[in-house]
Amino acid sequence: MSKEQTQRIESYSTHLETLIKNYNKYQSELSTIHNNFVSQTGALQRIFKSKSIAIPSSINEAFEQIASNLSDILKKSNQIYKPPRPVPDEDFM
């Protein structure tokens, strides 16, 4: 393998590592946003219920829709990244 090919592979490897790191960070942040939203809206609903204050159905529906959308985004983003298969050395020669 030439020096140029080796450098190119190392560059791709570094780039891929960065992409995976950023992807994992994005996944973690998205999961945290989803969990916090569900937790906070649940807490808000319990507070309103304890004070015998009715939450308009349109607000409840909006909460449910946002939680559902966040969940869908999280599920779809989990399907984006598949670990790369090992590549035989001869593919780079």
User: Measuring CA to CA, which residue among 12, 10, 32, 31 is closest to residue 20?
Assistant: 12
How many folded domains does the chain comprise? Answer: 1
Asked, for residue 88, whether it belongs to a domain, the answer is no
Helices (H), the chain: 3-50, 57-80
Query: Would residue 93 count as lying in a domain?
Result: no
**Amino acid present at 23:** Y
Position 92 pLDDT exceeds 60: no
How confident is the model over 39-66, as pLDDT tens digits?
999 998 899 999 999 888 998 899 999 9
Condensed to tens digits (0 to 9), the pLDDT of residues 24-43 reads 898 889 999 999 999 999 99
Closest CA to 69 of 24, 26, 37, 29: 37
Report yes or no on 8 lying in a domain: yes
Residue 18 has pLDDT above 70, yes or no: yes
- In this structure, is residue 86 part of a structural domain? no
Can you give the residue range of the structural domain that contains 71?
A: 3-79
Question: Would 44 be classed as within a structural domain?
Answer: yes
How much is the pLDDT for 86? 64
